[in-house]
Amino acid sequence: MNMVAECARNENVNVPISGIGGISNWQDAVEFMLMGASGVQVCTQAMHHGFRIVEDMIEGLSLYLDEKGLSSVSELTGQSVKRYSNWGDLNLNHQIVAEINNDVCINCNKCHIACEDTAHQCIDMLKDEDGNPILRVREEECVGCNLCSIVCPVDGAINMVEKLNDRPPMSWNERERVITSLTASKSS
């Protein structure tokens, strides 16, 4: 989505932008369109669920447009670009982590596999006091990438939750300036 927004903000990009990567429902499609995509591509979800996913997306988009009083998805295209922040200006100390509801979880372990093989290895497979399998997120290592939630087949089994911390806001750009300043003063 970042690359879609970067293209949409670039005045030299004068072609339609297609959103691709991680689109699994109509809400994802709306997010990509709001960030500048005039169309979206869906692959993995169609492989997992068949082409009926497209019908579900069309229905969801239609209901969303009706709710917002819009007549066409083209009215969504690029509407959030002006509110988009550069990643270097985002607060590094803002923390969102995955939270697994083991009462809802079906123990398919897709989240564990995805996190272990392609993300931050922060979901542990454990047993509760009765010996039943449970999954637990090590919050201190979770970066809030949302991959576990994306692959989870059960609504409400994984939620992304904001965690409050006592660290002051600091962006990557601010951190880089501090490090550059410290490095320059040490070498002087």
Task: Give pTM, 2 decimals.
Answer: 0.62
What average pLDDT does this structure show over 62-85? 93
Residue-level pLDDT at 160 = 96
- Going by pLDDT thresholds of 50, 70 and 90, the confidence category of residue 149 is very high
pLDDT in tens, 86-127: 888 888 889 999 999 999 999 999 999 999 998 899 999 999
Report whether CATH 3.40.50.1400 matches the domain 91-163.
Answer: no
Res 139 pLDDT > 90 = yes
pLDDT tier at 182, thresholds 50, 70, 90: confident
Q: Helix, strand, or coil here: 91?
A: strand
Question: What is the arithmetic mean of pLDDT over 79-85?
Answer: 89
Tell whether the model's pLDDT for residue 66 goes beyond 90: yes
Beta-carbon contacts of 61 under 8 Å, excluding residues fewer than 6 positions away, are: 26, 29, 30, 73
Helix (H) or strand (E) holding 124: strand 123-127
Residue 13 confidence (pLDDT) above 90: yes
pLDDT for the residue 131: 95
Strand-pairing partners, residue 98, are 160
Q: What is the pLDDT of residues 69-80, one digit of tens each?
A: 999 999 999 999
Q: What percent of the chain has pLDDT over 90?
A: 73
Q: Is 3's pLDDT higher than 80?
A: yes
pLDDT 10s digits, 157-168:
999 999 988 889
Domain boundaries of the chain, sorted by first residue: 2-83, 91-163
The structure tokens listed for 165 are 């911390």
Give the model's pLDDT for residue 117: 92
* List of residues 6+ apart from 31 with CB closer than 8 A: 1
135 pLDDT exceeds 90? yes
**Of the candidates 89, 126, 86, which has an alpha carbon nearest to the alpha carbon of residue 105?**
126
pLDDT value at 188 more than 90: no
